[in-house]
Structure formats: C-alpha cells, structure tokens
Amino acid sequence: MNAHITEPKESRVTVINELITGPIGSGKTFTVRQRLADEINAPNTQTWVIDLYTNLPDWSSKADRYARTPDAARMLLQDACAEIEDRAARIAELGLPEFVAGDEKHGLHLVVITIEETQAVLDDLECVRLVERMVRMGRKVGLKTRMTNTARPGPTAFGGSLVIAEQMAAGDVTELPGRSVVGGVTGRGKSRAFDEATARLVTGDSAASDSDAKAAT
C-alpha cells in the first residue's frame, strides 16, 4: 500500500508591514492573537513581541523574543536594526535580488516584530528613530513590522513620525470599528476617513488631521 505523502504548505505570513488600528474595545488584541497563532507554526518564521501593556502575557513563553518593559523594548529594537544591517550585507554579498525566507543560500528566517499598542513605545524618541529605520529598511531583508494603535492618525500619531506614518499606511491595514471583535475592513481596503487622516499627517496639515481624527471616532 502506498503511503500518503502530504506536501508542505506554504506560509501565509508575508513580509508586508501591518497596521491594526481601532478604538478601545474594538478587538485589536484579539486580531493580533489570530495573526500570531498563524505565524507561530509557519515555516522559517520567528516571532518577536513588544508588549508594554501586558496584553499578550502568554506570548512571553511562546515568542522567540518578548519585551514588556521600555528598556527591553528599546534593546529589542536596537537588535532588530543591527539584524537589518547584518542581513543587508549578507544578501548583497550573495548578490540576491530579493529576500526569500528559508533560502538555503542565506539560511535566514522571516522575523515578524509585533508592537502591541505602539503609542506606548513611541513615547520614547530613540524608539521612534529605531522604528523608522525598521519600517523603512526591514522588509527588504525579511523583517516585518506589525503595529497595533489605539490613536487615530493625527499630528501625534506614530510619535509624530512621517516616515512611520507613510510606511505603515502603505502596508496592510486593518481598521476595526466600534466595540466588536468581528468585522472591520482588512487589507488595503482602508476607510476613506483613515486614508484622509493619514494623508493630512503625511502632508503636515495638523489641523485638518485633528479634525479628521475626531470625525472618524
């Protein structure tokens, strides 16, 4: 009798940056847990988590890296930026056109860095600068950033960084309305209010951004 051979499944985890946004009680942490559960068993994938509000305490033992204090978060981000530079040098030396997780030529995993309630981390100016480097350069070498954010786009969103605002708006955005853990608009189908508020932030129109943010809540 012939044995049944199951082909390995391709990972559904991509290197595209993710932003999960919505008001308190909208289900951001629930959504993050679903994404983390998907990637924990994905091949050639590592999970790093920054969790200053301790919304994901069980992931302290599941994640490859877990930070729950500001100092630990800063150190994790520093390590992420150092990893980006090391990977960029290795991939360039090999002459590879793009990053592919698990490629035998470099042996590098995809690293997904989840920052739960990003606004708490981006209160620190050094962390803002580190996250800017991470979201701008990480995707090219296999470091993906996932953020959750209670704040709507406005002059103080993302630590006031236009770099972070632009990079995260260009990725996959999940906007969760109301107080339900079900529903929301996923992928690139962002709401018009989100798009307009982010555009105001990127162009520096703070007053309009504040107005849009209030109208959308």
pLDDT at position 215: 41
Which CATH number applies to 18-216? Answer: 3.40.50.300
pLDDT tens for the chain, 217 residues long, are 444 333 333 446 788 999 999 998 899 999 999 999 999 989 999 999 999 999 999 999 999 999 999 999 999 999 999 999 999 999 999 998 888 888 888 889 999 999 999 999 999 999 999 999 999 999 999 999 999 988 666 667 899 999 999 999 999 999 998 653 333 444 443 444 455 555 555 555 544 444 443 444 3
pLDDT at position 13: 73
pLDDT at position 5: 37
Q: Taking the alpha carbons of 36, 37, 40, 43 in that order, is the dihedral positive or negative?
A: negative
What is the DSSP-derived secondary structure letter of residue 3? P
3-state helix, strand, coil in the chain (%, to 5): 45, 15, 40
Closest CA to 214 of 164, 158, 159, 151: 151
Work out the angle between the directed axes of helices 192-203 and 206-216 (0-180°, nearest 10): 160
Which helix or strand (DSSP H or E) is residue 71 part of?
Answer: helix 70-94
Check: CB of residue 213 under 8 Å from CB of residue 23.
Answer: no
Residues 10 and 34: their CA atoms lie apart, in Å, by: 18
Give the start-to-end residue ranges of the domains of the chain: 18-216
Q: Enumerate the β-bridge partners of residue 175.
A: 21, 185
Q: Taking the alpha carbons of 162, 167, 171, 176 in that order, is the dihedral positive or negative?
A: negative
Q: How many other C-beta atoms lie within 10 A of the C-beta of residue 53?
A: 12
Tokens at 89, concatenated: 């040098």
